[in-house]
Amino acid sequence: MMRWKRKDLLTLEELSKEEIEFILETAKSFKEVSTRDVKKVPTLRGKTIVNLFFEPSTRTRTSFELAAKRLSADVLDFSIGGSSVSKGESPVDTARNIEAMKVDCFIVRHSVAGVPKLIAKEVKTAVINAGDDSHEHPTQGLLDLFTIREKKGKIKGLKIAIIGDIRHSRVARSNIWGLTKLGASVILCGPPTLIPLGMEKMGAEVTFSLKEAIKKSDILYFLRVQRERQKETFFPSIQEYVHLYGMDLESLKEGKKDLLIMHPGPINRGIEIKSEVAESTSSLILEQVTNGIAVRMAVLYLLVGKRSKND
Ligand code: CP
């Protein structure tokens, strides 16, 4: 049995296949807690988890809060509005001051890549990266791996196409690391301007044809077109993007019979994916959200509950 040693969870790039599998196995045992009438176990009683979100979030923030509460931890939900961040206090100083109040874990989301790592270096408290710019979103990657394994019974040997705005996607990067480490093949698909050169070095195949990705894949993983991160125009118009890369029911029929659809949310309905696909029986989108709680319970348990202070 593996022993968890890491203080922080910052990327899937740095985790070994064994560490990823260990988190997924641990999450399996937590999934059942959320189906109970009383959705609570005493695992992290007396611990304090701090949500330190410098960027907006619906799923990740609430998922971590519910995961912590279901483990009986106390949760401090730090809001930027009304904090001294507006007076110029740095993220590291913010974290160090909250650490001085004796807390056990920071969940950090920031619009600059590397900020969670910077904080992790400066504090003794555990740090979980909840998304840093276009770099990584490791717990999203883990919940996606968990969902794929639950649905398909395996990850090794599967072909997963990640489609859309790869350039600005931390979710794509975490998934590429996680999927390839666990033996899946990854196809990246989208307009050439949204797939940075050199992505093949991460072990992925690249295609600009959605038709080809649909035909070859076991799972199509759609990404949101991140218009707020696009400082220049990467495609002529939304209409053209929808025409070339938008997913509808007709296109779904061109794939394998058991082709599955995933998306990390939030969805731009009618852009990267039509509602009829998002709501179809092939869609795992809400199951991903459900599984996020079990995966985050596992990560909190391993980092806060399991690791001894002396490790
Ligand atoms: N999937 C995801 O990270 O969603 P949020 O931005 O709502 O947290």
**How many A from CA of 260 to the centre of ligand 1?**
20
Q: Quick count: other Cβ atoms within 10 Å of Cβ 48? A: 18
Rounded distance between C-alpha atoms, residue 18 and residue 77, angstroms: 32
Q: How many helices (H) and strands (E) does the chain have?
A: 11, 9
Give yes or no for residue 63 CB within 6 A of ligand 1.
no
Domain ranges in the chain? 17-137+291-310, 138-288
Instruction: Please give the distance, rounded to the nearest whole angstrom, from the Cα atom of residue 140 to the centre of ligand 1.
Output: 8
pLDDT band at 2 (very low <50, low <70, confident <90, very high): confident
- 78-92, 112-126, 203-217, 224-238: least confidently modelled range: 224-238
Confidence at residue 225, expressed as pLDDT on a 0 to 100 scale = 87
Whose CA is closest to atom 1 on ligand 1? 264
Is the CB–ligand 1 distance for residue 178 below 6 Å? no
Residue 310 has pLDDT above 80, yes or no: no
> Are the CB atoms for 293 and 249 separated by under 8 Å?
no
Q: Does 138 sit in the ligand 1 pocket, CB within 6 Å?
A: no
pLDDT at 120 > cutoff 80: yes
- Its pTM stands at 0.95
Does 233 have pLDDT greater than 80? no
How far does residue 111's CA lie from ligand 1's centre (Å)?
Answer: 13
Closest residue to atom 6 of ligand 1, CA basis = 57
CATH architecture of 17-137+291-310: 3-Layer(aba) Sandwich (3.40)
pLDDT at 311 over 70: no
The CATH class that applies to domain 138-288 reads alpha beta
Q: Probe ligand 1: pick from 57, 64, 65, max atoms within 8 Å of CB? A: 57
* Ligand 1 atom nearest to CA at 55: 6
Asked if 17-137+291-310 and 138-288 have one fold, the answer is yes
Binned at pLDDT 50, 70 and 90, residue 158 comes out as very high
- 244 burial type by CB count under 10 A (0-12 exposed, 13-18 middle, 19+ buried): middle
Q: What is the pLDDT of residue 123?
A: 98
C-beta of 62 in contact with ligand 1 (< 6 A): no
Bridge partners of 204, per DSSP, are 186
Share of the chain above pLDDT 70, in %: 96
How do 105-110 and 126-132 pair as beta strands? parallel
116 CA distance to ligand 1 middle (Å):
16
pLDDT digit string, tens, across residues 71-86: 999 999 987 877 888 8
> Whose alpha carbon is nearest atom 3 of ligand 1?
60
The answer, yes or no, to whether residue 226 has pLDDT greater than 70, is yes
Question: Relative to the CA of 131, which ligand 1 atom is closest?
Answer: 3
Letter for the amino acid at 63?
Answer: S
Question: Average of pLDDT values for 196-218?
Answer: 95
Give the mean model confidence (pLDDT) for residues 181-189.
Answer: 98
